[in-house]
Amino acid sequence: MKAFPTQEIGSLPKFSWRTKPFRGVPLVDADVKTARDWGERFRVPGTGDLLNLLSKRDGFSEEEKHRLVEFSLLYAIKMEERAGSGEGVGLDLVWSGEQARTEMYETPVSGIGGFEFIGSVRSFDNKYWKMASIRAPPAYKGNYHLDEFLFTKKHAVRRVKVPVTDAITIMAWSDNSYYGRKWARKDMPPLERSFSARREFTLELAKTIRRVIRGLIENGAEEVQMDIPAATQYQTVEDIELVSEAFNETTKGLLATFSVHSCFPPSVGYGLLFPQLLEMKCRRFSFEYANRDSLKTGLDGESREGFKDLKLFKEYGYEGELGVGVVHVHTDVLPEVAVVRDRILYSAKVTELPPERLYINPDCGLRTRSPEVAIKCLDLVVDGAALARKEVCA
């Protein structure tokens, strides 16, 4: 087994030649040049075909737009497989960077019955999500990730995973109109009533998501990453238990490797998830840490302040795999590769896990960065892991 295997953890930015045709905006020379430059840089098969397609510049048919999405899946796969400064380094565990999805909430919600989009809500700064309201019990409409997965599996050389947004997150980011109204009729204390509404909504969603995952596994998916950014949103003991319960209900009896990704907890950190988190029957927990860390090199606790929560895994006797976020994704100010190396080495030190069980990844999805910054982040992951590998193997 390789020490410090690497993985992408979420989205990659979309190129302008991928987004403009969907907005009805004609392409300009710079868009086509981007396709050519990045295609050559990452030796993307079929770049010539893409350039021919893009020469149309405007008025793309639905079939042509579909091909553009497939090309952007391909670009993402090859960016991941060829990231890093050494020839052919690449990430070990890849996928297609959310290129076929609007984003991690809107796509699944569009594919599940019972939801109605009601408008945009601000997450932070000028970042928003399109909120949907649940108006009827969730219903399976089809496998909203299958085509994307089949394409990725066919074109990736490296090991493939498929990220799936979990029930807690869809519940937490939605307007709980149906279950809120249902439980409002019960004569109960307000807090108990709102938790009951959340729980029923979550567990109903879990049944639908389970069906989607089962379909992916039947079509060859071997590794599924459950995306649970909302794991730290509702912070009562009951809610944390529900995070684990929903995960286990979604995945029970399904034959695949399951991992969990979460990020950006409140100021108290990941401690609020323990010990209930460890009830999840999953192979790997991948969390964000670099966001809170310093840009200094060093293996001491002060230099590595962002990684202090990792000790929780040691304290609770965890012996499984971890994914460690070593590059902050909401800034263009990037660390030196030596800092990334030290973040990795420090993670190994405090968790006392064998290096083969520590996956290295960006903190979260890179969709808010430019392609130039995103690939630098992936390079840092690959190159930082290579440096750390040298240290532990020396």
The three-state secondary structure class of 140 is strand
Among the listed residues 235, 281, 316, 356, the single contact to another protein using CB under 8 A = 235
Among the listed residues 233, 251, 303, 347, the single contact to another protein using CB under 8 A = 233
* d(C-alpha 70, C-alpha 325), whole Å: 28
Among the listed residues 101, 161, 292, 369, the single contact to another protein using CB under 8 A = 292
With contacts defined by CB under 8 A, name the span among 37-45, 64-72, 149-157, 267-275 that binds another protein: 267-275
* List of E strands, 125-239: 127-140, 159-160, 162-165, 223-227
Among the listed residues 177, 303, 351, 361, the single contact to another protein using CB under 8 A = 177
* d(C-alpha 122, C-alpha 124), whole Å: 6
| Residue 110 burial (CB count, 10 A) | 15
The three-state secondary structure class of 85 is coil
Among the listed residues 330, 338, 387, 391, the single contact to another protein using CB under 8 A = 330
Asked if 129 interacts with another protein (CB under 8 A), we say: yes
| Binding string, residues 60-99; x marks residues near another protein by CB under 8 A | ----------------------------------------
Sheet holding 284-287, edge to edge: 162-165, 223-227, 257-262, 284-287, 321-325, 358-361
Of 262 and 351, which CB lies nearer to another protein in the complex structure?
Answer: 262
Residues, the chain, total? 394
Among the listed residues 72, 152, 202, 232, the single contact to another protein using CB under 8 A = 232
**37: which residues sit within 8 A by CB, 6+ positions away?**
none
Asked if 274 interacts with another protein (CB under 8 A), we say: no
Q: Which residues bind another protein (CB under 8 A)?
A: 118-126, 128-129, 131, 133, 172-173, 175-177, 180-181, 184, 189-191, 194, 230, 232-237, 264-268, 272, 291-292, 306, 330
